[in-house]
Amino acid sequence: MEIGWKRRAEELVDHALAEDWAWGDVTTQALIPADAKGKALFLAKSPGILAGIEVAQLVFARVDPSLEFHALLRDGHRLERGTRIADVEGSVGSILRGERVALNFLQRLSGIATETNRYVEAVQGTRARIVDTRKTTPGLRFLEKYAVRVGGGQNHRVHLGDGILIKDNHLAALRARGLDMKAAINLARKNAPHTLKIEVEVGTAEEANQAAEAGADIILLDNMPLEEMRRAVKEVGGRVLLEASGGVTLDNVRSVAETGVDLISVGALTHSVKALDISPEMEA
């Protein structure tokens, strides 16, 4: 994982542990002797792409620094049912107190990496790159976008300061003041840092042409029918980057990619992904 992630990850882990331990672990306290030692294995219960192993390790380190966590695989490894992912050894009570939080991170991030990889594989052989959106779990964005990269996708804007994206609501607000798309792009070019690219959302090939003529760097084709998308690619492709967005699924992503767009943004990578099935098993 990238340099500088640890402090942010520690904050998320500490918050998750505090949430889980609001009133203590009464079950473990009632049943497990304080000096009990043991080992737990983490196994994949379904195929997928591993992501979040360092976060899981961090969870157990925050619970009890004396625990020994052994990552058997690295993020990006392709899992099969029954694959051993990691083991943790030491205080049984500490293992039990940390396992759910570790799994929550590991399962969700692996689910995102797995789903992203499905989309990436679906568009292989085309020019299209799969990118994410800002439709992320509040507070978990940097981890979820990391998982997208593990799955072979790329990140769109990480935050609102990461690039200019003039959407339909921005244009509607400006039209109320008598400004058109060209004026909006000129205003953005004048007032924003010169290092930022300007992307404009459009709904038709004609609007895509207008945005390209007005100097947009990237044009987002929003919920555009395939035929209209092909027309937009024919008219402005090569002059600017074209991004398809809206209503993209695994069933239609290949068809979208074959229109010739450069990018395909998919909110489902993070906003409604299914967690990968991973299970901890205590050794007898």
Give me the number of domains the chain comprises: 2
Three-state SS at 89: strand
Question: Are residues 197 and 161 part of one domain?
Answer: yes
Domain with residue 221: its CATH number is 3.20.20.70
Question: Are residues 245 and 110 part of one domain?
Answer: no
Which residues carry out catalysis? 100, 135, 167, 201, 222
Rounded-to-integer distance, Cα 260 and Cα 256, Å: 8
Question: Are residues 174 and 217 part of one domain?
Answer: yes
- Has residue 69 got a pLDDT over 80? yes
DSSP string, 47-83: -EE---HHHHHHHHHHH-TT-EEEE-S-TTPEE-TT-
Q: Are 199 and 163 in contact (CB under 8 A)?
A: yes
- What pLDDT digit, counting tens, does each position of 5-27 carry? 788 899 999 999 999 987 888 99
Give start and end residues of each alpha helix (H) in 123-159.
Answer: 141-150
Q: Are 93 and 135 in contact (CB under 8 A)?
A: no
Question: Are residues 195 and 113 part of one domain?
Answer: no
Question: Are residues 257 and 190 part of one domain?
Answer: yes
Question: Are residues 240 and 124 part of one domain?
Answer: yes
Average pLDDT over residues 205-234: 96
Question: Are residues 197 and 249 part of one domain?
Answer: yes
Question: Are residues 131 and 168 part of one domain?
Answer: yes
Query: Angle at the Cα of 150 (from 147 to 154), degrees rounded to 5?
Result: 85
Question: Are residues 151 and 80 part of one domain?
Answer: no
Question: What's the length of the chain?
Answer: 284
Question: Are residues 253 and 144 part of one domain?
Answer: yes
State the residue range of the domain holding 243: 120-271
- What pLDDT digit, counting tens, does each position of 164-178 carry? 999 989 988 988 999
Instruction: Find the farthest-apart pair of alpha carbons in the chain and give their distance in angstroms, rounded.
Output: 73
Question: Are residues 124 and 220 part of one domain?
Answer: yes
- What pLDDT digit, counting tens, does each position of 78-111 carry? 999 999 999 999 999 999 999 999 999 999 999 9
Interstrand relation of 84-91 and 164-166 (parallel, antiparallel or unpaired): unpaired
**Encoded tokens for 158:** 């990480």
Mean pLDDT of the chain: 95
Residue 16: its pLDDT value, please? 96
Average pLDDT over residues 43-49: 98
Q: Are 93 and 36 in contact (CB under 8 A)?
A: yes
User: What's the chain's Rg over C-alpha atoms?
Assistant: 23
- Has residue 3 got a pLDDT over 90? no
Question: Are residues 241 and 228 part of one domain?
Answer: yes
Which whole-number Å values give the CA distances from 217 to 14, 48, 53, 236, in the listed order?
A: 41, 36, 37, 11
Residue 284: its pLDDT value, please? 61
Average pLDDT over residues 200-207: 96
